[in-house]
Amino acid sequence: MPQQAAISPFHGPCRRAGQALRPNAALLSIVAAHLALAAGFSQIYDAAFNPDTIQQLGLLFGVMIPLYLLALLVWRFLQMIGHYRPQRPIRWLLGDIGAILSDGPRIAGGLAALLAISAFAGSFSFLKELIPTITTFGWDPALARLDRALHLGTDPWRLLEPLLGAPRLITALNVAYHAWFVVMYFVVFLACFARPDEGARSAFLVAFVLTFFIGGNVLAMLFASAGPVYFDRLGLGGDFRALLEMLRIAHEVSPVQALNVHEALWEGYRTGEGVSGISAMPSMHVAVATLLALYGFRYAPWAGWLLTGFAGVIMAGSVMLAWHYAIDGYAGALVAWGCWRLALRMTTPRAAQSSITSDTGRRGAGDGASAG
């Protein structure tokens, strides 16, 4: 009688770990490469590199994730009473929550992705803060000229001022601009803990880090610029003094917190202490908002259109709050779209890609035959 091979006590845990990490393979590879790049730059420029992953996770698990879970619970409750309408609602809701929590690979994969994103946030911020050390903000004059040329010789903020220049509208744009962080991390949280077989889940997470890496690090260094808010302070002229004066006048009527952030970032840039990270081209606010909209359409049309509207508000706010030239936002949206398309190719199995190509070819042949 043949003897059964001994099974290692580590077989089960290793298999489950593999199940958790497999859907995150591309994400983890990119994050590892980015961390290595940041460590290399820290040696070249003799700058201390601390990704602050523990601090990032503390903020997520201590403050933001409890709020996200509460929002999701309310959403699921509304779905239950509006759509499913079970005979025993409490039992149904508890069973729904239990089914998610008992899905070990899904929870482990979500935690792995969340840890990777948190580590990436630290390495991204480190490289972004190195920009003034590596290069100078030399692209502002060219970007300002190109912005005017694209908008018929007028600064884009002047085109928006008749529609959005009222003090309370400026405050609303400012609130939305700050809410970007909450919305971004909420969608990232949803994607991390989505089912591993959910088609766009891996693509979004990969596109997320690629967008920040390519847009917020590589292009930000190649086209280093500070934005309209610091144009005058960099000795480039008073082209945007009127915009900043408009914000100060609006602040006297309705609060514009961007003015305080302007000062904090400039002080960090000037002294090398505290908050830092000035960078205008491309706009990462617009890039990420665009990426959220692309992912939203994979969930439901209403989510995609809602996030598209949010991206439009962020685009307008980036200009009216003096953070960016309009072209920064256009470039950011293009970077997000390109990274999204690349991530879809990276995370879609080759068999599925071949099937899609084959189906497209058959449809094209059929269309040609019909036309003939």
Least confident range from 1-10, 41-50, 186-195: namely 1-10
Same domain, 123 and 75: no
Same domain, 292 and 235: yes
- Is the CB of residue 170 less than 8 Å from the CB of residue 322? no
Q: What is the mean pLDDT of residues 297-308?
A: 94
Q: Between the CA atoms of 76, 17, 35 and 318, what dihedral angle is there, to the nearest 10 degrees?
A: -10
- Is the CB of residue 239 less than 8 Å from the CB of residue 203? no
Of 76, 102, 128, the residue that ends a domain is 102
Domain membership flag for residue 331: yes
Which is higher by pLDDT, 76 or 326?
Answer: 326
Same domain, 214 and 326: yes
**For the chain, what is the mean pLDDT?**
84
Same domain, 267 and 200: yes
Same domain, 179 and 85: no
pLDDT per residue over 139-188, tens digit each? 999 999 999 999 999 999 999 999 999 999 999 999 999 999 989 988 99
Same domain, 159 and 220: yes
pLDDT band at 16 (very low <50, low <70, confident <90, very high): low
Same domain, 133 and 212: yes
Q: What is the mean pLDDT of residues 247-258?
A: 95
Domain membership flag for residue 261: yes
Q: Give the containing element (helix H, strand E) for 350.
A: helix 350-371
Same domain, 82 and 115: no
Of 82, 102, 122, the residue that ends a domain is 102
pLDDT given at position 363: 43
Given a cut of 80, whether residue 7 has pLDDT beyond it is: no
pLDDT given at position 186: 87
Q: What is the mean pLDDT of residues 32-59?
A: 80
pLDDT given at position 84: 72
- pTM: predicted TM-score of the whole model, two decimal places: 0.83
Same domain, 189 and 326: yes
Same domain, 112 and 201: yes
- When computed from its CA atoms, the radius of gyration of the chain, rounded to whole angstroms, is 24
Buried b (16+ CB within 10 A) or exposed e, 183-205: bbbbbbbbbbbbebeeebbbbbb
Domain count for the chain: 2
pLDDT given at position 371: 40
pLDDT given at position 368: 40
pLDDT given at position 23: 75
Given a cut of 50, whether residue 365 has pLDDT beyond it is: no
- Is the CB of residue 243 less than 8 Å from the CB of residue 154? no
Identify which of 163, 236, 244, 202 has the alpha carbon closest to the alpha carbon of residue 343: 202
Least confident range from 71-85, 178-192, 270-284, 319-333: namely 71-85
Residues of the domain holding 192: 105-349
Same domain, 93 and 236: no
Which is higher by pLDDT, 117 or 18?
Answer: 117
pLDDT given at position 356: 43
Same domain, 212 and 117: yes
Least confident range from 56-65, 207-216, 320-329: namely 56-65
